[in-house]
């Protein structure tokens, strides 16, 4: 059944249906497609930058110069997280097994973000237009705007964005840990072991090489910059993005 002369189905005309229909059409058309050449260059470069960052971390030792490394290294972590997302979307490998192995190495072990959580939430945010029930990651985050809140919290609209984006990395990690309880999550044991391994190795490296004060400072700068990078990577539907006033909805 269609409505109007444009051949739009009734399902697509429903709230969120247009976005779902567009998502299906894009999938049929192969948009976005696999970019093997791009990832064949991108992934080794990120691996080299990731390993080089750790080498520089140990070379610098207990120094305040580590804060410069923390800020400059965060985009590398962010790009690795985006590679894990691309693997979850099937944009790198054709097979699920290869995507799962690569995604868990990049996401769970590399940056401490659950690959399985990306896979679980992938169909939801892209199947709906942005609205109160859906945040950027497919589940409520720190802020979920309601119409009655938009008028008051939306003034001034951009002030809460930056501090909340700094928390984005932590919020996505918490969402991944919570997803371990989901009965539909596959390979949850592997997911949990790799997440714990990342956390243990990361914190041990910080507190063994740096003094407690410098370790905490490194942690705040690194994770804050990592969160800002991810928050800027998903600005349109990000939960920290400003919501329009009720009259503008």
Q: Could you tell me if 42 and 83 are in contact, meaning their C-beta atoms sit under 8 angstroms apart?
A: yes
Is residue 67's pLDDT more than 70?
yes
Mean pLDDT, all residues of the chain: 74
- 99 domain residue, yes or no: yes
- 234 domain residue, yes or no: yes
Q: What is the per-residue pLDDT across 232-245, written as a single tens digit (0 to 9) for each?
A: 876 544 443 444 44
Q: pLDDT at position 12, please?
A: 44
If one compares 123 and 51, the residue with the highest pLDDT of the two is 51
For every residue of 138-187, DSSP letters joined together read SS--S----HHHHHHHTSSTTTTHHHHHHTHHHHHHHHHHHHTT-TT-TT
Q: What is the per-residue pLDDT across 68-79, written as a single tens digit (0 to 9) for each?
A: 999 999 999 999
Q: Which domain holds residue 115?
A: 35-248
Give the count of domains, the chain.
Answer: 1
- 19 domain residue, yes or no: no
If one compares 4 and 117, the residue with the highest pLDDT of the two is 117
**Length of the chain in residues, anyone?**
249
Is residue 22's pLDDT more than 60?
no
- 5 domain residue, yes or no: no
């Amino acid at each position: 059944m269609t409505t109007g002369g444009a051949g739009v189905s009734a399902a697509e005309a429903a709230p969120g249906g247009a976005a779902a229909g567009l998502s299906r059409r894009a999938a049929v058309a192969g948009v976005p497609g696999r970019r093997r050449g791009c990832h064949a260059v991108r992934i080794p470069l990120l691996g080299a930058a990731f390993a080089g960052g750790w080498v520089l971390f140990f070379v610098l030792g207990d120094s305040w110069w580590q804060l410069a490394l923390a800020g400059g290294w965060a985009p590398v972590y962010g790009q690795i997280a985006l590679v894990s997302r691309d693997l979850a979307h099937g944009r790198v490998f054709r097979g699920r097994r290869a995507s799962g192995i690569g995604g868990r190495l990049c996401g769970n072990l590399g940056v401490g973000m659950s690959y399985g959580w990306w896979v679980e939430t992938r169909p939801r945010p892209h199947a709906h237009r942005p609205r109160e029930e859906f945040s950027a990651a497919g589940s409520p985050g720190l802020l979920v705007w309601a119409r009655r809140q938009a008028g008051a919290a939306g003034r001034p609209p951009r002030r809460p964005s930056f501090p909340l984006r700094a928390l984005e990395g932590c919020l996505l990690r918490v969402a991944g840990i919570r997803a371990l309880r989901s009965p539909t999550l596959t390979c949850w044991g592997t997911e949990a072991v790799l997440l714990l391994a990342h956390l243990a190795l990361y914190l041990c490296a910080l507190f063994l090489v740096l003094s407690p004060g410098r370790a905490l400072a490194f942690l705040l700068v690194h994770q804050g910059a990592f969160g800002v990078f991810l928050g800027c990577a998903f600005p349109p539907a990000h939960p920290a993005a400003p919501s329009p006033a009720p009259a503008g909805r």
